[in-house]
Amino acid sequence: MRRHSTGFSLIELLVVVAIILIIAAIAIPSLMKSRMAANEATAVSSLRVINTAAAAYHSTYGNGFVAQDNPLVVGTSGQRSFCVDHSGVIRFDGTGAAFPVGAICPIGATALQ
């Protein structure tokens, strides 16, 4: 009587699963960093649009506001808080500390290059 082995053994399946887990462990942190970078790029883009609209509003009605944008969860959704000052320069705080809503953009915040 002959034994014909078809399929994979348990050891082979465990080796494949281990390799997949190792690859996932390497890829997930870089995925999170790229997601945070995308969130921050979207925040900057939104601030540019909001600032343009605020400038148009100010030229029409004579008053305006300062745009703010903070990460929902520091370290997960973003690492930096952004604001736009009256001159249109987008500034950020690298610690992710929230700028108060409606407050003037702090002078100590770093200008975005």
Q: Where are the domains of the chain?
A: 37-111
Among the listed residues 80, 56, 62, the one whose alpha carbon sits nearest the alpha carbon of residue 70:
80
How far lies 54's CA from each of 22, 66, 100, 103, in Å?
49, 8, 18, 15
> Does residue 64 surpass a pLDDT of 70?
no
pLDDT (mean) for 20-25: 93
pTM: 0.59
Residue 112, pLDDT > 60, answer yes
What is the model's pLDDT at position 2?
61
Q: Is the pLDDT of residue 97 over 90?
A: no
Give pLDDT, residue 16: 95
Given this model, what pLDDT does residue 12 score?
92
